[in-house]
Structure 1
């Protein structure tokens, strides 16, 4: 076990037996090796813990806790981490081999920066490529211009200085599903931000993910999130309301419907394959037949590619 690693790879895990082995392998195969892998098992009830324990690499540290949610799991991991730099990573994603090497090189060579993220390759639950994701901003100037309107980082791509996050009190546990975004606004004045313009992870979309298309969450969820970001903090009462919304939607139909609708959108706007898009949209319609936006999306799939791309550029949040 490393006593003073340079990087802590921080991975929360909850019922990820289908994917966590591939995620762990991708970390252990990094070209940069001065790291520890802290995995916080957040009360998993499947075979997640057994899979973690099947690895004998001394760099892996397993921490068990009752199911408390991702923000609490991350704060637990930060408490036990030994390194000055934290690389966030999810238990259903895949690291590109040079991910750690490229990000730590950037931070060491640019000490005024406290956080660096990257682009990503989206994949489906079966590992098929979906599309290449370009961050909405890459330079510090671009990121700060958009920070209070859109989250500029994909959470599992970021590497940051632990001290700055500790100074902000860690992840806000009441900001359910946007604990990372609210944290970035809290540390924004402590240093500079950057996104590397290359994919450093494969980000897996799957129906079991806690993150679904926010348009499916409803207007009230988006209002609570927007108000918290503008203020820079969230109350416990608002957190309870957010959690109630999320729990009411934590059902197979909503998660699977959201997953297929999102895949349909991406197969039109980001990786134009209309036949695959229609396959996913038809599944979304069969799961939630009363959602009219899916019928509109299905109709749009028959329009010319140029028109779809124009429509996406003009109103990306609609498509």
Structure 2
């Protein structure tokens, strides 16, 4: 028997009701050559195991609780046998043609290593909120060679990317040292430096917004720009970017950090100087700081 073409990795923790809906959305894909790898991050009962036993094509693995999705995703990547890797969290849902549409894109466009899309938002009860997230003002922003546009500005919606295994072989694993927020941003930023990215401007997944979203804990994102600076330094060392590009992107990270100022002024200012001791004299940074402090009502 040949290896499944797509390995779908689902990290989960103690959300069996949501997980059931996620697994059903994978099962109901119009494209069926896949394996599902559910990595349970130490749920203190057997409910997820019992649920997964009712589905075909599922490999269920429980690990010791790590407190975040990075380690479960990495374990899933190590178990994956597919030529393509997809991720979906245990509270999100794929639309039926998600895999079929994305596979067609990558099969027809070999120069692209990753394809993604925007998402439609649902609430904790699965009701659509009439909101689309992850859609740029212009589709070109998130399409093509995006490395110089992405860092510090936007990321990919986690339920949507389909990635060639050879890209993952270059990029490696999710950062398990980071706080459990922003590890997806850091990972897909690394992807942007090794691969062109294809953007489909229609929702292919439903993103569930509820009180337990990790992404809702924006205070943890204060650390993210410094982790992204490490990514930037690695790209310079590997000669994937020039020094001029390095400093342009570093200033994008400073602007990203400035926008977090209302989440913790002292911590934000400290991190700005760790990013770049000259941040305050760089173009428009001080103006942005004043705007965020006194005029902008909501940030990140």
**TM-score between the two structures when normalised by the length of structure 1:** 0.67
Query: Alpha-carbon deviation of 1:8?
Result: 0.6
Structure 1 residues 160-239: aligned runs within 5 Å: 160-176=163-179, 177-214=181-218, 217=219, 221-232=220-231
Q: Secondary structure at the match of 1:184?
A: helix
Q: How many angstroms apart in 2 are the aligned matches of 1:88 and 1:315?
A: 34
Flag structure 1 segments of 5+ consecutive residues without an equivalent.
Answer: 235-313
Unaligned segments of structure 2, at least 5 residues: 234-294
Q: Is the 8 A contact 2:171 2:194 kept in 1?
A: no
1:224-274 Cα offsets, whole Å, 9 max, x none, are 21121123179xxxxxxxxxxxxxxxxxxxxxxxxxxxxxxxxxxxxxxxx
Q: Which residue of 2 aligns with 1:20?
A: 19
Query: Aligned match of 1:155 in 158, 168, 174?
Result: 158
1:51 maps to what in 2?
A: 51
User: Deviations along 1:37-68, whole A, 9 cap, x unmatched?
Assistant: 1111111124222212232x1x1111121112
Contact 2:16–2:51 (CA<8 Å) still a contact in 1?
Answer: yes
**Alignment-derived partner of residue 281 in structure 1:** none
Aligned position for 2:108: 109
- What does the per-residue CA deviation read over 1:82-118, in whole Å, with 9 as the maximum and x for residues that have no partner? 0010011111111100000011111111111111111
Alpha-carbon shift at residue 316 of structure 1 (Å)? 8.8
- Maintained 8 Å contact 2:31/2:99: yes
| Root-mean-square deviation (Å) | 2.2
Q: Secondary structure at the match of 1:187?
A: helix
Residue 79 of structure 2 corresponds to residue 77 of structure 1: no
Q: Is the 8 A contact 2:147 2:189 kept in 1?
A: no
Structure 2 match to 1:306: none
Count of residues in correspondence between the two structures: 231
Deviations 1:116-156 (A, max 9, x none): 11111100001111112242333225x33431112320112
